[in-house]
Amino acid sequence: DAKTTQPTSMDCAEGRAANLPCNHSTISGNEYVYWYRQIHSQGPQYIIHGLKNNETNEMASLIITEDRKSSTLILPHATLRDTAVYYCIVRVHGSGNTGKLIFGQGTTLQVKP
Amino acid sequence: DSGVTQTPKHLITATGQRVTLRCSPRSGDLSVYWYQQSLDQGLQFLIQYYNGEERAKGNILERFSAQQFPDLHSELNLSSLELGDSALYFCASSEEKTYGDTQYFGPGTRLTVL
């Protein structure tokens, strides 16, 4: 079972920041937080991941709370092409651990003009 | 473009038939994962191969099997197909370093069983 909780859906105005929350209150110390998105029926697209520090890349920023029980994915300037289902996933790294991703229902983000 | 390729894009077949889905991982990636996405089950992990060896199994039916070849491409074989096997099938690949092994997904194969 997925170990994360996300809102089912969210709306965002085009050009504004989209803030997608994720609760992972049972996260273990060696589990990373990953974000993927799926646009329509395309293959899931990797966005960003982090362990405990905030992370930023060309797509998004990831803010992880100090207790690591929740995180927020930030798309700084949402466009219509960011409309997708966003998945927050926690998983362990390291050899010997199966790297399977456990997908929940995700958050459907609708960016509106 | 993730660098992962899957063929065919679409497949339509009849119940009881057998099909093979193919996945080519990103250059340098040793690990291949297969996932199934159906309307009622969401995205589910099926099986993982690492450098030719099976590493992990998920909710994969006995009618389904997979293998990874020496050139690291992988095939997912689905036999005795049923209507309920209609779904999107994705493969993903990763370098499988000791620390840090992001999975990159292919575009998927849409299987329709009539």
pLDDT digits (tens, 9 = 90+) for B6-23: 999 999 999 999 999 999
| pLDDT tens profile A63-104 | 999 999 999 999 999 999 999 999 999 987 655 556 788 899
**Residue A61: φ, ψ to 5°:** -120, 145
How many angstroms away from the CA of A14 is the closest CA of chain B?
24
Q: What's the gap in Å between the CA of A82 and the closest CA on chain B?
A: 16
> How much is the pLDDT for B78?
98
Record: contact B103-A94, CB cut-off 8 A: no
**A44 in contact with B, Cβ within 8 Å:** yes
E strand spans, chain A: 9-13, 18-23, 31-38, 45-50, 55-56, 61-64, 70-75, 84-92, 107-112
